[in-house]
Amino acid sequence: MNIPAIVDFGDPSSPTAAPIDAGRILAGQPAATVDNRYSDPSLRFHCGTWSSTPGRWQINYTEHEFCYLLRGRVRLVAKDGATREFSAGAAFVIPAGFAGTWETIEAAEKHYVVLEPA
């Protein structure tokens, strides 16, 4: 029997550039990185760490995402104008179907867990 290895987020990381599509950027010049630590065999479930420098861009979530903000400050604004702001230590879920803007107010880093719908 092959037992999967435990994924420890404390192990050294290897973040890679995760450019934000220039057509979606509304303000600033955000630079993002991602370090995906785990994807299940179906490639529907993912966990890792993401970071961004300040900026604001359009988002349209097709996936469900749990976020735990490690540092920084972000603001999410839904298309209907509903606004939520989160700082380091906050945990939140962005459900599939959410559309609006993501703004990194202060350089931010988060752990994420993403589930892509079937």
Q: Is residue 26 part of a domain?
A: yes
Give me the pLDDT at residue 1, please. Answer: 76
**pLDDT value of residue 4:** 86
DSSP symbols for 17-44: E-PPPGGGEEEE---EEEEEEEE-TTS-
Q: Work out the pLDDT band at 3, boundaries 50, 70, 90.
A: confident
Assess if residue 87 is contained within a domain.
Answer: yes
Dist. CA 109–CA 94, nearest whole Å: 16
* Pairwise CA distance, residues 39 & 88, whole Å: 25
Residue 12 placed within a domain:
no
For range 33-51, the mean pLDDT: 97
CB 58, CB 101: distance < 8 Å: yes
Q: Is residue 24 part of a domain?
A: yes
Report how far apart, in Å, the C-alpha atoms of 41 and of each of 46, 60, 111 are.
Answer: 10, 25, 20
Q: Residue 50 maps to which CATH number? A: 2.60.120.10
Q: For 57-112, what is each residue's pLDDT tens digit? A: 999 999 999 999 999 999 999 999 999 999 999 999 999 999 999 999 999 999 99
For residue 54, what pLDDT is reported? 98
Nearest to 6 by CA among 45, 37, 36: 37
Q: Cα–Cα distance between 67 and 79 in angstroms, integer? A: 20
Beta partners for 72?
A: none
On whether residue 35 sits in a domain, the answer given is: yes
Structure confidence at residue 11 as a pLDDT band (50, 70, 90): very high
The number of distinct structural domains making up the chain is: 1
pLDDT(2) > 90? no
Q: Is 95 a member of any domain?
A: yes
Residue 39's domain comprises 17-110
* Residue 2 counted as domain residue: no
